[in-house]
Amino acid sequence: MDASLPAHMRPERSFQGFILALQRFWAEQGCVILQPYDMEMGAGTFHPATTLRALGPKPWNAAYVQPSRRPKDGRYGENPNRMQHYYQFQVIMKPSPPNLQELYLKSLAAIGIDSAVHDIRFVEDDWESPTLGAWGLGWECWCDGMEVSQFTYFQQVAGFECAPVAGELTYGLERLAMYVQGVDRVYDLNFNGRDGDQKVTYGDVFLQAEREYSRHNFEIADTAMLFEQFKMAEAACRKYLESGWREGNRKEHLMALPAYDQCIKASHVFNLLDARGVISVTERQSYILRVRELAKACGEAWIHTEAGGVA
Amino acid sequence: MPELLLELFSEEIPARMQAKAADDLRRLVTDKLVAEGLVYEGAKAFATPRRLALTVHGIPARQPDLKTERRGPKVGAPDAAVQGFLKATGLKSLDEAKIQRDPKGDFYIGLIEKPGRDAIDVLAEILPVIIRTFPWPKSMRWGARSGKPGSLSWVRPLHAITATFGPETEEPDVVKFEVDGIATGQTTYGHRFMAPDAINVRRFEDYEAKLKAAKVILDPQARKDIIFADAKELTFAQGFELVEDQVLLDEVSGLVEWPVVMMGSFEADYLKIPDEVIRATIRNNQKCFVVKDPKTGKLTSKFVLTANIEATDGGKVIVSGNERVIRPRLSDAKFFYETDLKTKLEDRLPKFEQIVFHEKLGTQAARIKRIERLAAEIAPLVGADVAKATRAAHLAKADLLTEVVGEFPEVQGLMGKYYALAQGEDASVAAACEEHYKPQGPTDRVPTDPVSVAVALADKLDTLVGFWAIDEKPTGSKDPYALRRAALGVIRLIAENALRLSLMKVAASALAGLSAKPADAEKLPSDLLAFFADRLKVQLREQGARHDLVDAVFALGGQDDLLMIVRRVDALGKFLESDDGKNLLAGTKRASNILSIEEKKDKRTFDGAPDAALYSLTEEKALAKAIGEVTTEANAAVAKEDFASAMSAMAKLRPPVDAFFDKVRVNDDDAGVRENRLKLLNEIRSATRAVADFSKIQD
């Protein structure tokens, strides 16, 4: 940890200081520090900087915070650690460096988790995203029995083999910060590291939103509109994919990213419909498959773009 | 003799894969050594989260030289044949060949000597192949090399390979090879946090010792022993008792290289949650052991954790961290439990209308209705109260929809019992909610409460008949719906509770309740019965009992009362162990053999009663008399279901049968006498059918 930091910026006192410490650490490792993607998504993995950039031969190192929306996890602000909106910190390094585990452990040290007094473990957890057609092998990382990060070597994304393989780290920021700050309720996190009347808590920032969105997600969200939006996003995605091939030759694609935005959109709309309880068990599977088909087609388009590595 | 040390150092190997991987490594390397003519003295393999290690000792330094003789052409054969022979044997000229004479003439013999190679060279050839083709259940690629096809796959990234070979007294050599850019050496690493530096190792002895000094216990059994002993001691010191858990111990020992056992606690308020739920929470999510009070047998508010580090603060932070994780988990479990208690079990049932049990067998709701009906029918047959059995079947599946069971599927049934008791159900009804799943396997407890028995039978028979009706029977190793287990469950329920039940009738009744009727519905019950017969045989075989007797009893036909079948098999088995039994079996077989030969010869059977007027010898008369008496007596005993007495009656046949074969010539010159004697033999066969078809019994 950087001893020169002012008290209110120290990761064990301040949620924002905590995020900045992680960003700084990964910037030092050569990652580009991105800002959150400007769309609603269920996890940092959906960010095109992970999903699409994990494909193709070009090296890519990035880190970013991604607000993650899980409409079903809303608890009207009444559960100490479950929320429909929270932050993930995402690191992706392609190809995976040989010392990725060591880097990860150093990042923990940078946010105040000392491996000499904590029990840090890599416990088997294979990751699979049915909606992204992606899987990888890795671990959940435990600190004193608590899962604090997900560590994955991507083997396949959007149905394509990753060559080379990217290493992905996902930190559950609130949970880690709660541990480091020693609070049991997420809304009690000190957000800005200040004291007294200058102190802003996580609750000050997000509690109102949790109450409102829980009501929205479970009770009010307009399902007729959402069903329509799903169809529209799906159709738009297909349309952009179809018209993106340069001269229709299926060798070079010019519009993978806008198409992928519609895939993200469809996925989030599906999550909202699911939270509203209007999708039956059998339909559920078919919606997941529809999103996966979009993701796969976007992946295929991406590997035919210049950034995706087409020669 | 020289020994091999091999270590594959990687990122964390999943705990559940370690034991098999160590075993595979030992087997693959030693099999290959033997195949290469390198017979070794002993081998042992080990696994920790970060390494697989193997030591093989007593390997010869060299392969034995191989000498083979090759027969060549005849002396004086054409030149082409001679040249071919020289080329194949590597001889320079025929002067180097021997000449051997045999009846066909003189032949050239070439002696080929293939010198053995150094074992270290053989190892350098076989080890990389084994590594590249190692049978991990799941493996992955990583790093820059994964961009190219054919890169190494391993369970997690592989970082270093130590491979040395040499005699104990000398400095060993490195077995030189390279796998995907990883060259072998003598360098390994200690504990990830406590001793991460490189360690130079020579052979197994110093390897294991240096690892220990570097806070790595190589032997998984040693780690288990430490965890188990420390956990017991720690709990005992506080007057408590560890709840032993072998599966958890295996897993935990695969998560640490240096086990450090500590104890934590949680708020006593959580002890209001059922013990099993506390245990599931702490065990599944946190991989910790729970602790009970030996006086009450109930859990206490303590748990035992196993860390992988001797923390510099003595573990204070680790314990309090684990407590902080366990608390919200228990809080969730308590919330689930209390939430569940607010809804009556029957109020959950409508939801089953939406849940498909199997697309061809309808919803869970339909299945529950079928089980209710069947349980009501079975109840009087097993001495259960019909109303209670119906009620139990009605509620037994409801806990599947509770929060606790959703979170911890392994407490299904058990939670049903707790919730049923909490809403004031009859004790038998509540017990059946749990016990109707039993027995789950050959060693699981068989319920005895008649209500549980009725619902357990109804549940299993509905499953069996249902999947039979849609033709989803188990085949080979595939039994996705665990139908074999269900059938064994039925067998054990019936046999161990001494129940009288016509399986054909019950199966027909279960079938009648199905909405999907199979095309060959009338064949189904007997088809299913044959499946039960098979299961019974398997079970008897596993118990070390004679399973051929099941066929002998089933061959009698019309046998669908499992209890009677089991008892008959049992009595038959005991009888056949006695001298009388063995000899009677031999006599009966002899009679059968003679009959089948003569039947073939005459192209006819010898059915029908023999004519007493044609008996001429005392032995004939005695046998005929004995058959009459024994048949009456055995049939009477069978009618009373007293199979032991039926067998004793059978035993009386032995002396007259023996005497008959001793003194009487069956194939008499007089055709009438011969026919009559054959008919008498046939009577022996028929008489024994009072208890079993002896021809199906193996010698």
CATH code of the domain containing A170: 3.30.930.10
- Is B105 domain-assigned? yes
- Is A310 domain-assigned? no
Cβ distance B142 to A115 less than 8 Å, yes or no, reads no
Q: Residue A264 maps to which CATH number?
A: 1.20.58.180
pLDDT digits (tens, 9 = 90+) for A47-81: 999 999 999 999 999 999 999 999 999 989 998 88
- Is A38 domain-assigned? yes
Alpha helices in chain A (DSSP H): 15-28, 48-51, 100-110, 173-181, 202-215, 223-243, 256-275, 281-302
**A15 to chain B, closest Cα gap in Å:** 19
d(CA A307, CA A253): 10
Q: Do B321 and B399 have their domain in common?
A: no
User: Which of B397, B383, B554 has the alpha carbon at shortest distance from B462?
Assistant: B397
3-state secondary structure B654-694: HHHHHHHHHHCCCCCCCHHHHHHHHHHHHHHHHHHCCCCCH
Cα diameter, chain B: 105
Q: Do B30 and B158 have their domain in common?
A: yes
Structure tokens at B4: 């091999």
Structure tokens at B686: 């028929």
d(CA A77, CA A206): 9
d(CA B18, CA B256): 12
Q: Which domain holds residue B105?
A: 66-114
Cβ distance B140 to A146 less than 8 Å, yes or no, reads no
pLDDT digits (tens, 9 = 90+) for A30-47: 999 999 999 999 999 999
Q: Do A73 and A129 have their domain in common?
A: yes
Cβ distance B321 to A119 less than 8 Å, yes or no, reads yes
CB < 8 Å to A165, chain B: 140-143, 146
Q: Do B644 and B688 have their domain in common?
A: yes
Q: Is the dihedral of CA B632, B633, B634, B640 positive or negative?
A: positive
- Which of A158-167, B58-67, B76-85, B539-548 bottoms out in mean pLDDT, i.e. has the lowest? B539-548
Mean pLDDT on B63-81 = 86
Query: Domain total for chain B?
Result: 5
Q: Return mean pLDDT, chain A.
A: 94
CB < 8 Å to B139, chain A: 137
- Give percent of chain B above pLDDT 70: 100
Residue A311 pLDDT class (50, 70, 90 cuts): low
Q: Do B181 and B291 have their domain in common?
A: no
- Give percent of chain B above pLDDT 90: 57
- Is A281 domain-assigned? yes
Q: Do B181 and B231 have their domain in common?
A: no
Q: Is the dihedral of CA B623, B628, B631, B632 positive or negative?
A: negative
- Is B429 domain-assigned? yes
Q: Is B140 on the interface with A (CB under 8 A)?
A: yes
Q: Do B638 and B690 have their domain in common?
A: yes
Q: Is A153 on the interface with B (CB under 8 A)?
A: yes
Q: Do B244 and B358 have their domain in common?
A: no
- C-beta separation of A108 from A40 below 8 A: no
- Is A107 domain-assigned? yes
Q: Do A82 and A179 have their domain in common?
A: yes
Residues of chain B numbered 296-315 and touching chain A (CB < 8 Å): 305, 307-309, 311-313
d(CA B303, CA A69): 35
Best of B18, B142, B288, B359 to substitute, by most chain A Cβ atoms within 10 angstroms, is B142
- Is A1 domain-assigned? no
Winning range, highest mean pLDDT, from A235-239, B496-500, B671-675: A235-239
Q: Do A226 and A207 have their domain in common?
A: no
Mean pLDDT on A186-213 = 97
Residue where a domain terminates, one of B310, B341, B372 = B341
The reply to whether the predicted model has a pTM over 0.90 is no
User: Which of A86, A32, A90, A83 has the alpha carbon at shortest distance from A59?
Assistant: A32
- Is A157 domain-assigned? yes
- CA-nearest residue to A55 within chain B is B147
Q: Are strands A120-124 and A160-161 parallel, antiparallel or unpaired?
A: unpaired
- Which of A68-72, B88-92, B130-134 bottoms out in mean pLDDT, i.e. has the lowest? B88-92
* Contact partners, residue A77, CB within 8 Å, separation at least 6: A83, A187, A203, A207, A210, A211, A214
d(CA B198, CA B188): 6
Q: Do A232 and A129 have their domain in common?
A: no
- Is A14 domain-assigned? yes
Q: Which domain holds residue A30?
A: 7-216
Q: Do A37 and A66 have their domain in common?
A: yes
Q: Do A186 and A225 have their domain in common?
A: no
- Which of A168-172, B72-76, B312-316 bottoms out in mean pLDDT, i.e. has the lowest? B72-76
CB < 8 Å to B11, chain A: 101, 122
Cβ distance B14 to A80 less than 8 Å, yes or no, reads no
Q: Return mean pLDDT, chain B.
A: 91
pLDDT at A114: 92
pLDDT at B69: 83
The shortest CB-CB distance from B143 to any of A95, A120, A139 is to A95
Q: Do B626 and B670 have their domain in common?
A: yes
Instruction: Give Cα separations from A187 to A44, A191, B178 (angstroms).
Output: 22, 9, 54
Kind and range of the H or E run holding B625: helix B618-639
Q: Do A159 and A71 have their domain in common?
A: yes
Q: Is the pLDDT confidence value at B618 over 80?
A: yes
d(CA B414, CA B117): 64
Q: Is A183 on the interface with B (CB under 8 A)?
A: no
Residue where a domain terminates, one of B157, B181, B213 = B213
Q: Is the pLDDT confidence value at B392 over 80?
A: yes
Mean pLDDT on B326-341 = 90
Terminal Cα distance for chain A, rounded: 43
Q: Is the pLDDT confidence value at B562 over 90?
A: no
Mean pLDDT on B61-76 = 87
- Is B557 domain-assigned? no
Residue where a domain terminates, one of A194, A216, A238 = A216
Q: Is A78 on the interface with B (CB under 8 A)?
A: no
- Is B76 domain-assigned? yes
Q: Do B502 and B632 have their domain in common?
A: no
Q: Do B143 and B234 have their domain in common?
A: no
Q: Is the pLDDT confidence value at B432 over 90?
A: yes
Q: Do A24 and A169 have their domain in common?
A: yes
Query: Domain total for chain A?
Result: 2
- Is B649 domain-assigned? yes
CB < 8 Å to A117, chain B: 311-313, 317-318
- C-beta separation of B329 from B278 below 8 A: no
Q: Do A190 and A143 have their domain in common?
A: yes
- C-beta separation of B6 from B162 below 8 A: yes
Residue where a domain terminates, one of B160, B181, B213 = B213
Residue A1 pLDDT class (50, 70, 90 cuts): low
Instruction: Give Cα separations from B37 to A40, B652, B667 (angstroms).
Output: 65, 62, 63
Q: Do A94 and A227 have their domain in common?
A: no
Strand, coil or helix: what is B107? strand
- Is A309 domain-assigned? no
Q: Which amino acid is at B582?
A: K
pLDDT digits (tens, 9 = 90+) for B638-659: 888 888 888 888 888 888 988 9
Strand, coil or helix: what is A83? coil
d(CA B441, CA B435): 13
Q: Do A212 and A225 have their domain in common?
A: no
Mean pLDDT on B450-476 = 93
**B301 to chain A, closest Cα gap in Å:** 17
Best of B141, B256, B335 to substitute, by most chain A Cβ atoms within 10 angstroms, is B141
Q: Do B109 and B142 have their domain in common?
A: no
Instruction: Give Cα separations from B332 to B282, B408, B528, B647 (angstroms).
Output: 12, 12, 45, 63
Residue where a domain terminates, one of A185, A201, A216 = A216
Q: Do A252 and A136 have their domain in common?
A: no
Q: Do B375 and B495 have their domain in common?
A: yes
Instruction: Give Cα separations from B558 to A133, B572, B600, B641, B655 (angstroms).
Output: 56, 18, 29, 15, 31
Residue where a domain terminates, one of A177, A201, A216 = A216
**A278 to chain B, closest Cα gap in Å:** 13
- Give percent of chain A above pLDDT 70: 98
